[in-house]
Copies of this chain bind each other. A is one copy, B any other.
Amino acid sequence: MERTYVITGAASGIGKATKELLEARGARVIGADIAGSDVNVDLTTLQGRQTLVSEVERLSDGRIDAVLAVAGLSSPTVATAAVNYFGAVATLEGLRPLLAKSDSPRAVAVTSMASLMPHDDALLDAFLDGNEEAALARAAELAAGSPEQGNLIYGSSKQALSRWVRRQAPTADWAGANIPVNAVAPGVVLTPMTASLTGTEEARTQLAGMVPMPLNGFFGPESVAQLLAWLSSEENGHLCGQVIFIDGGSDAVIRGDSTW
């Protein structure tokens, strides 16, 4: 039977590549983005998150087979904190009742190798507590501070989302309902989001110093799409809470064999 997928961030980058791949393989994909997709909503707002769920319910006739929470920003802004963590969690939790109607439901979040980068303790704690008001207030402080402070927003949001997947996946809501939930953590992927970081030789050299990728270097979003397609396919019935780095080795270089 044809599978129905929901992909946020579907208008560009990894989300777009994944939508195109799944459609080419015969799946039905409901895309969501702030503009230019099937469902156009702003995931920084409660209203946008609620509209996502109601529109997906309407367009899918109440049953979906997979959710891919791809939408994310990398700018040093409050919006990044809102979308990357609270928008992603709202996507996964809000669509879970529709997933539960599937015979082979799957959920995947896109985090980042930046989850290994420095973070802000107060922001991270607010994310993990699910306290959006406190998180956005702290993000606003960081955004108003030095560039280094602003840059902590992205890594903190991605670490929090990775850890949300770890904590939630084995619970009654997910594993107990036979829904695998996992994450992919990309290294540097050549998308509109990273274009400013990879646009010049100098920028690329600086970035490669922060994100060592000895295996095949920077790469295109199609490779992430293929991993997302596998994780959200019927073939994956037993991965639970895995955060898979698709990063050319930056995780292995940075953490070595302290983590396995």
* Contact A248–B244 (Cβ < 8 Å): no
A170 to chain B minimum Cβ distance, whole angstroms, is 4
Give the chain B neighbours of A245 by CB distance below 8 A. 239-240, 242
Q: Assess A170 versus B240: contact at CB under 8 Å? Given A175-B215, A176-B214.
A: no
Residue in B171, B244, B257 whose CB lies within 8 Å of A166: B257
Q: How far is B183's CA from A236's CA once the two chains are assembled, in angstroms?
A: 16
Any B CB within 8 A of the CB of A178: yes
Closest to A167 in B: B257
* Contact B259–A166 (Cβ < 8 Å): yes
> How would residues 208 to 235 of chain A score, 1 for a CB under 8 Å from any chain B CB and 0 otherwise?
0000111110010001001100100001
> How would residues 249 to 260 of chain A score, 1 for a CB under 8 Å from any chain B CB and 0 otherwise?
101110111011
* Contact B235–A169 (Cβ < 8 Å): no
* Contact A238–B247 (Cβ < 8 Å): yes
Residue in B165, B226, B237, B249 whose CB lies within 8 Å of A240: B249
Give the chain B neighbours of A163 by CB distance below 8 A. 257, 260
* Contact A244–B249 (Cβ < 8 Å): no
* Contact A235–B240 (Cβ < 8 Å): no
Interface residue tally of chain A, by bracket?
35 or more
A116 to chain B minimum Cβ distance, whole angstroms, is 9
Q: Assess A249 versus B169: contact at CB under 8 Å? Given A215-B240, A223-B238.
A: yes
Give the chain B neighbours of A187 by CB distance below 8 A. 238
A92 to chain B minimum Cβ distance, whole angstroms, is 15
A229 to chain B minimum Cβ distance, whole angstroms, is 9
Any B CB within 8 A of the CB of A4: no
Any B CB within 8 A of the CB of A162: yes
* Contact B166–A248 (Cβ < 8 Å): no
Counting from the closest, the 10 A-B pairs by CB-CB distance are A241-B252, A240-B249, A163-B257, A175-B215, A175-B214, A170-B249, A166-B257, A215-B240, A162-B260, A226-B235
For the complex with contacts A165-B260, A166-B257, 8 further pairs of A-B residues with Cβ separation under 8 Å are: A170-B212, A175-B214, A187-B238, A215-B237, A226-B235, A239-B246, A240-B252, A241-B252
**Can you pick out 19 interface pairs between chain A and chain B where the beta carbons lie within 8 Å of each other?**
A162-B257, A164-B257, A165-B260, A166-B260, A167-B256, A170-B252, A171-B214, A174-B215, A175-B214, A175-B216, A178-B216, A215-B237, A215-B240, A226-B235, A230-B235, A238-B247, A241-B251, A241-B252, A244-B244
